[in-house]
Each structure stands twice: as structure tokens, then as C-alpha cells.
Amino acid sequence: MLLWFVVAYWVISVAIGLWASLRVKNTSDFAVAGRQLPFYMVTATVFATWFGSETVLGIPATFLKENLHGVVADPFGSSLCLILVGIFFAAPLYRMKLLTIGDFYKRRYGRGVEVLTTIAIVLSYLGWVGAQISALGLVFNIVSLGSISVVTGMWIGSATILVYTFFGGMWAVAITDFIQMIIIVLGMLWIGGEVAGQAGGVGTVVQHAVDHGKFDFWPKATFPEIAAFVAAWCTMMFGSMPQQDVFQRVQSAKTEKIAVWGSILGGSLYFIFAFVPMFLAYSATLIDPKIVEANLAEGGDPQMILPTLVLNHAPMIAQILFFGALLSAIKSCASATLLAPSVTFTENILREMFPMNDKQLLRAMRMVTLVFTVLVTLYAINSDASIFKMVENAYQVTLVSAFIPLACGVYWKRATNQGALFAIFAGTTLWLALTFSATMTPAEIHKLPSGLDWLIMLIQPLQVFTPQGAGLMASALGMIIGSLLPQMFKHDPDAHHRLRHGHHAHDSRRKAVGGH
């Protein structure tokens, strides 16, 4: 019965997505829903996009192993990302009327920065989308009692999500997100009530968690612990900002006010409801401790604790609601994260290489979505990282390369294209060097070519900041130095003013000082 429910729900959701595709007439409809989304839909799509497999499976598993301290990146960092975007970036970005986040980098810094940041953004989505595809395979395997393998489930899930994303674009994503948000909220609250009743009540579960130190949040008072804690927080909080999916939700709003408050409310709702799966998973320690012990032991899979608890101890209606909510979370996140990099790559890479009209561009966006789906499914199949780690690691790329150029591009008028290039090069190079050298022994480092071994040994002390933390600091330093030094590259000094205030304001300013 559970499997047939999943099949029926899957067919209905795909049908809704295909119905939404009737609204897609051009690239603006496909990429940003024609900038017509109302407040409730923007809020829903912000919430549902971020409430994915890592929220239901990855975060609870990490919480059980590492306490609240272990989930500082998500939901603490990720929800703050959405709230800060609403406060500081939604309004200025919305006024720019851009199609992609890559367009911002192009107008502010030029073609070179646009290409480099777009590549970084697209690569970062491999981990995030891969986590959703992995979770789909896991769910299909569970509800079919093993008759559908995990790999087969991945292909089934990615293929069906591709269908409505391919045709419906952002309209399909937004409408299905709204429906899936309702299912997520109702399903999680219902199953929460069922599980709480079996565990002796919410107060009993919370008190048990407090007694066992599960709410330990702050790091130990040592520099390495504090640096790692801050770096993990910043990875999701800042690394998620220069992302097309966040940008799309801002640009899809009907008004600037909706863009701002939809992001803030969506992020706040995400933070609140992210604790429900953690509560459910921890309840297993009271209801069936053997499930927790078996999956936390070596060779076990902590991500299976919550699904196993529901299958073994919840009535059928609760199972249906739980897996309906889980599938809704995964589908909403996966569809959005398939669309975002595909639109960005097409608009900011392919369009410059092969000039296209609007109809050709729309066709190209759909074909890139197809190719990206196949590639990310293959990546997910061959990755052995946990869902939580796949998501967390994804944002290190954009943290060290794209965040500083975004923040300075909006708020520092002296930021230049040379500064942005310095920031990208310094942040990415140091991050890569520290990431790879962290896995090497001193003997392996000494075997490197002459000069390179000395350089690796020189930067090794920076490991105390973590690779992504050091990369972020290097990116900020690169932006400051590159912008203040004499400019070696052509720079438009009025780019910041035009982006913040529009072309009309720029023209009037030039006329006021005698320009033409």
C-alpha cells in the first residue's frame, strides 16, 4: 500500500508540474516565472527548496552523532543565509532585473568574472543535487522493501523530476513547491504527534536530550575548535548566497517587497521546521534504542534511523504522511537545483559562445537541464559521501570564489573587476591547496616537485582556519588588494552606480557633471 501511494503521489505531482508548463512562453517564464509570483508562493518556494533530503535525513543523523554543535552549518547557517539575503540583497538584486546571478557578475565586473563565478556556481550544485538524487534512491528502496535498488531508484527519481522541470521551469517548480510545502508541514506535524505520543510526550523527549548533552552547541574554548565552528557556519550562511536558486526566488517575486519578506519568512519557517526531523530521530532513542545503536555503530547508516523508526512503529497513515513529506522535500529541492545551474550555464556561458534568440535560448536551457540531470545522477551513484556532507561541501566552492565579489559588488563602490579576479584566484587557490594537502603525509609532501613542497609546507599552518575559512579570508584580502592597486584591466567606474540605481540615474548623473 505504501509503495502504491508513492507511485500515485509521484504521478500526480508530475502531472501538476506539466500543467504548470502551460504558463511557459519565453525564457523569463522558464527562468524566473515571469517575475509574477505572489507572496505566499515566494515564501513556499524558498522554504520548500531548502527543506530537502539533508533536512529530513542528513541533519537528524548528524545531530545524533555530534549533538547540536554538529548542525551549525544547517539549519543555523542555511536559514540565516535566507534571512540575510532578504535583509541585505533581495531589494538591490531585484531592482537590477537580471535573469541569472551570473548576469550580476557580468554587469558589475565584466565577462571574465562572469565565466569564473558561473563555473564555480554550476560545480557547487553537483553536491546539492547529488544529495537529493541519493535520497530518492534510498526512499524508493525503503518503500519497495528492497525490490527497487537504490541505483534504480535514483534513475527513476531523477527522470521523473526532469520531466516537469524540463517543460515547466520555474513555474512548475514554484507551483509544486507550494503544494509540497503544505504536505511537508502537515506530514511532519502529524508524524511528530504520533512519535511524541509513543515516546512519552514532547517534554519527555526534550528533557532526555538535555540530560544527555544533545543541546551542546558552542565549541570548546580552543582556537582550532572555534575556527572550525565559524567556518562551518559561514560555509552555508555565506556560501549559499551567490547561488542561482536563491537569486531565482528573489527575481521571481511580483514586487520588491515580496522578494524581501518572502525570503525572510521562508528562511524563518525553514529554521523552525528543521528541528522536527531532529526531534523525530532522537525520539527513537526512547522508543527503540536498538535502531539507534545499530545505525550509529560502525557499518551502520545513521540516515536510516528515522525511516526505520517510522516503518517499524508508526501506523500506515503516519507512514504515508511521513514518506509523502519526505518525497515532497526531496522533489522540491531537486527540481529547483536542477533548474538553477542549467539556466545559469546556458545564459552566462553558452549564450555568449553561440548567440541565440529567445526561442533558441529556451530550447538550450531545456537541453542543458537534461544533460545536467544525467551528469548529476552519475555523480550521485558514484559518491560515497553522506547526504549532509554532500550538501555542506557543495557550498565551499562558492564561499571561497563568489561570495566576496557579490557582497563587495553590491556594497563597496570601489570594488573593481581586478579585485574580483584577485579574490577568485586567491580564495580558490588557497582552498584547493589546503584541501588536498590536508590528506597528505609529510613524506608525501616532500616528494612533490621542488618549490611546490616548500609552498605546501608554508601554508600548512593555515589549516587551523580550515581550508574554506582560510579561502574566504584570502578571497576578501584579494578583493581589497586588487581593487586598491593600480588597475591592469579595463574597469568601468560607474558599474556600481548603474547596478544600484539603474541606467536613468546614471545618465542623469553624467549630465549633471557635463557628460554626454
How large is the average pLDDT for residues 206-216?
Answer: 93
User: What pLDDT sits at residue 48?
Assistant: 85
Among 340, 361, 334, 359, residue whose Cα is nearest residue 350:
361
- Mean pLDDT, all residues of the chain: 87
User: What pLDDT sits at residue 516?
Assistant: 31
What CA–CA distance (Å, rounded) separates 74 from 66? 13
Q: Residue 179's CB: how many other CB atoms inside 10 A? A: 17
User: What pLDDT sits at residue 146?
Assistant: 85
User: What pLDDT sits at residue 387?
Assistant: 61
User: What pLDDT sits at residue 392?
Assistant: 64
Residue 499 pLDDT > 80: no
Stated as kind and residue range, the H or E segment containing 82 is: helix 78-84
Q: Which of 115-129, 156-170, 406-420 has the highest mean pLDDT?
A: 406-420
pLDDT band at 389 (very low <50, low <70, confident <90, very high): low
Residue 329 pLDDT > 90: no
User: What pLDDT sits at residue 500?
Assistant: 67
pLDDT band at 390 (very low <50, low <70, confident <90, very high): low
pLDDT band at 388 (very low <50, low <70, confident <90, very high): low
How large is the average pLDDT for residues 441-466?
Answer: 82
Residue 497 pLDDT > 90: no
User: What pLDDT sits at residue 512?
Assistant: 38
pLDDT band at 503 (very low <50, low <70, confident <90, very high): very low
Domain limits, the chain: 2-73+133-384
Beta-carbon contacts of residue 92 (< 8 Å; ≥ 6 apart): 410, 499, 500
User: What pLDDT sits at residue 501?
Assistant: 66
pLDDT band at 469 (very low <50, low <70, confident <90, very high): very high
What CA–CA distance (Å, rounded) separates 172 from 13? 10
Residue 38 pLDDT > 70: yes
Residue 447 pLDDT > 70: yes
User: What pLDDT sits at residue 214?
Assistant: 93
Among 10, 106, 1, residue whose Cα is nearest residue 420:
106
Measured in whole angstroms, how far is the alpha carbon of residue 265 from the centre of its chain? 17
C-alpha cell at 368: 542543458
C-alpha cell at 433: 591547496
How large is the average pLDDT for residues 220-230?
Answer: 92
* Residues 250, 35 contacting (CB under 8 angstroms): no
Among 402, 262, 266, residue whose Cα is nearest residue 344:
402
Among 151, 145, 128, residue whose Cα is nearest residue 55:
128
Residue 257 pLDDT > 90: yes
What stretches of 219-315 show up as alpha helix (H) in DSSP? 223-239, 244-252, 256-273, 275-287, 289-296, 305-313
C-alpha cell at 415: 570594488
How large is the average pLDDT for residues 282-291?
Answer: 92
Q: Provide the terminal-to-terminal Cα distance of the chain, rounded to the nearest Å.
A: 72
* Residues 420, 105 contacting (CB under 8 angstroms): yes
How large is the average pLDDT for residues 17-42?
Answer: 90
The CATH class of the 2-73+133-384 domain is mainly alpha
How large is the average pLDDT for residues 411-436?
Answer: 95
How large is the average pLDDT for residues 440-462?
Answer: 81
More confident residue, 510 or 130: 130
Residue 507 pLDDT > 60: no
User: What pLDDT sits at residue 120?
Assistant: 92
pLDDT band at 502 (very low <50, low <70, confident <90, very high): low
